[in-house]
Chains A and B, each alone.
Chain A
Amino acid sequence: MIKFLFKGLLRDKSRSRLPIIVVAVGVMLTVFLHAYIVGFMGDTIETNARFSTGHVKVMTRAYSDNMQQIPNDLAITGISSLLEDLDREFPGFEWTPRIQFGGLVDAPDESGETKSQGPAMGFGMDLLSESSGEAERLNLQKSLVRGKLPGSPGEILLSETFSRKLKVNPGERVTLISSTMLGGMAIHNFTISGTLFFGQEALDRGTIIADIEDVRMALDMEDATGEILGFFLDGFYNDDLALSEADRFNATFGSVSDEFAPVMKSLSRQGGMGTYVNLAKGWSTYISLIFIFAMSLVLWNAGLLGGLRRYGEVGIRLAMGEEKGHVYRSMIIESVMIGIIGSVFGTILGLSFAWLVQEYGINISGMMQGSAMLMPEAIRARITPPDFYIGFLPGIAATVIGTMLSGIGIYKRQTARLFKELEA
């Protein structure tokens, strides 16, 4: 009997292929949208993490309290041993020191007089070590407009917009005027190796990027750094894990009485990022639930219509002596099979599209012109574990519920009308 029903299911395209396609499309959209929303919300988090906050950040307690001012006079010293401790105790992160600094960039003319000047926001990061992943993390190679990445000490990168404003080109020299860690005046000459386009106004306005050793030299920060950023090895922020790791670090290394003791903060505990992380979590959940509900209604209706369309076939089976319960159960089994097959196909398709958008992204840099917010130039999906099962909820449950509802007609159907109905 099962074989008979299965043959019917396979051969009747409107009973198998069409419902499977409908379920697969619904599930695909559910999976893709979930991955897309998570990716979109997560991308903004990751962009901020890469440029500013890390997934976790280690600073001195005093630096942390005044983080908005980037107080390098409160920087961490003796970082070599601290980095060793971090690598040993927290191997789930990739640790990298960063120095953020502000200053004035002066571009001289041929006679050494000031040609142009502009305020700059600077990043000192490890650009010259072979093992460093900083250039890749910030996508510097692809962001290059002119010149090349720094290959030797004394070379820096300028944002393209900033270089045009200063009327300087790769190969020319500029002078950074800032303050040292100890409060003195810092003047240091650099050679521009290349220019960058970030696609984000906040960064394009006046960013310089230099190797951290050059910045240390310029700002008198021997074996010191403003902050140590930690990035999860899988590249994605996990708030719960970041919070627990930060608590573990602070319990081990922290000191309430020493304002220069290191403190670790998760991304969500830096600036306004906590609100955004919560917003991202909430919106991802709400939008996904709304979409799952909407798709459930669509698939429920598909199941309902599929059941109603088979009224004639069910009538013949009842007239020939098949019991109502048996007919009903066979329809449910069919809908479960359709739900499972459609959900598997839909999930595979949804994950495939999500993977494409995760890998290649959708470029929105054109829409971001003029924005001062640090947002990604490409929206990327992000495949997370729920994407592997989230589509099965509308895919199977809604299809089965639709069939169950349409099947109620079997119980309410008056067999006395079968002859008349079957003549129709």
Chain B
Amino acid sequence: MENSQIIRIENLVKRFPMGKGEFTALNGIKLSLGQGEFAGLIGPSGSGKTTLLNIIGSLDVPSEGSVTVLGRSIGALSTGEAARLRKENLGFIFQSYNLFAVHTVYENIEFPLLLLKYPATERKRMVTDALEWVGLTDKIKSKPPQLSGGECQRVAIARAMVKKPSLVLADEPTANLDAANSHNILKTMVNLNRELKTSFLFATHDDKVISYLRRKIFLLDGRVDNDIIISN
């Protein structure tokens, strides 16, 4: 399944100003990710997981080194180009869902397609497909406050997946869910990864998530400590 590289990172260093000095969050990261991978950045708080996810998601830029995502060098992108990369190719799943509370499930999932200016009939078909993937066709008119946490995260997954992005970045997606819901969500994502060939990259320290990963990238103090690929 995993073939062409969609992420290539060479000697990535990320420093943040701290007081009069600097704090090095990432220090010499070298990494690549192929299409269709189901991988996770694993490590304790402060290990650099979210910082690395930010840079891959074109939300931040490297201090040194190069990060290439889908053939585009993150450090060289303008803010508009970075926004376009996120809009067209990346999906985001957040720990606290971050759905639009006043919009229905349908409208939340439709939003990325509106940004991409898909025609209405196409949007309807794609949203319906996404709802089927996550098993929420009966909640189409519900609004986030009427849903459980698990259902909300499934809507967030559908929103991230509806445009069939090449890469989904998920930051602690199960942190607010109980065990049963966490497993349901993870199974859904595994299925989508298999069916749509979408790459998933998690930032997590949750054992439940880790147990589903097929590649485990351990970070420690801003460095790749271990990189384990689980064979099928």
Give A contacts to B, CB under 8 Å: 1, 4, 7-8, 11-12, 312-313, 315-316, 318-324, 414-416, 418-420, 422-423
Q: Is B95 an interface residue (CB 8 A)?
A: yes
Q: Is the CB of A4 within 8 A of B103?
A: yes
- Given A7-B103, A316-B100, A321-B83, are A419 and B54 also a contact pair (CB < 8 Å)? yes
Q: Is the CB of B115 within 8 A of A322?
A: yes
Closest to A418 in B: B59
Measured between beta carbons, the chain B residues less than 8 angstroms from A420 are 50
Instruction: Give chain B's interface residue range (CB within 8 Å of chain A).
Output: 20 to 34
Closest to B55 in A: A416
Q: Is B150 an interface residue (CB 8 A)?
A: no
Majority secondary structure, A binding face = helix
A418→B83 CA distance, assembly (Å): 13
Query: Which of A1, A8, A324, A415 lies in contact with B103, CB distance below 8 A?
Result: A8
Measured between beta carbons, the chain B residues less than 8 angstroms from A8 are 100, 102-103
Against A, the Cβ 8 Å flags (1 = close, 0 = not) of B26-56 are 0000000000000000000000001001100
- Given A319-B86, A422-B96, are A324 and B79 also a contact pair (CB < 8 Å)? yes
Q: Is the CB of A321 within 8 A of B95?
A: no
Against A, the Cβ 8 Å flags (1 = close, 0 = not) of B81-101 are 011111110101011101011
* Selected A-B contacts with CB under 8 Å, 26 pairs: A1-B114, A1-B115, A4-B103, A4-B111, A7-B107, A8-B100, A12-B102, A316-B100, A318-B83, A319-B57, A319-B59, A321-B83, A321-B84, A321-B88, A321-B112, A322-B87, A322-B115, A415-B54, A415-B59, A415-B60, A416-B60, A419-B50, A420-B50, A423-B95, A423-B171, A423-B172
Closest to B85 in A: A321
A415→B115 CA distance, assembly (Å): 18
Closest to A4 in B: B114
Closest to B159 in A: A320
A98→B110 CA distance, assembly (Å): 78
Q: Is the CB of B86 within 8 A of A416?
A: no
Q: Is the CB of A321 within 8 A of B115?
A: yes
Measured between beta carbons, the chain B residues less than 8 angstroms from A419 are 50, 53-54, 59, 94, 171
Smallest distance from the beta carbon of B227 to chain A beta carbons, Å? 23
Against A, the Cβ 8 Å flags (1 = close, 0 = not) of B2-27 are 00000000000000000000000000
Q: Is B71 an interface residue (CB 8 A)?
A: no
Q: Is B80 an interface residue (CB 8 A)?
A: yes
A414→B17 CA distance, assembly (Å): 14
Q: Is the CB of B86 within 8 A of A321?
A: yes
Measured between beta carbons, the chain B residues less than 8 angstroms from A318 are 83
A191→B76 CA distance, assembly (Å): 103
Measured between beta carbons, the chain B residues less than 8 angstroms from A1 are 114-115
Smallest distance from the beta carbon of A135 to chain B beta carbons, Å? 62
Q: Is the CB of A319 within 8 A of B92?
A: yes
Measured between beta carbons, the chain B residues less than 8 angstroms from A12 are 101-102
- Given A420-B50, A422-B96, are A320 and B115 also a contact pair (CB < 8 Å)? yes
Smallest distance from the beta carbon of B79 to chain A beta carbons, Å? 7
Q: Is the CB of B112 within 8 A of A320?
A: yes
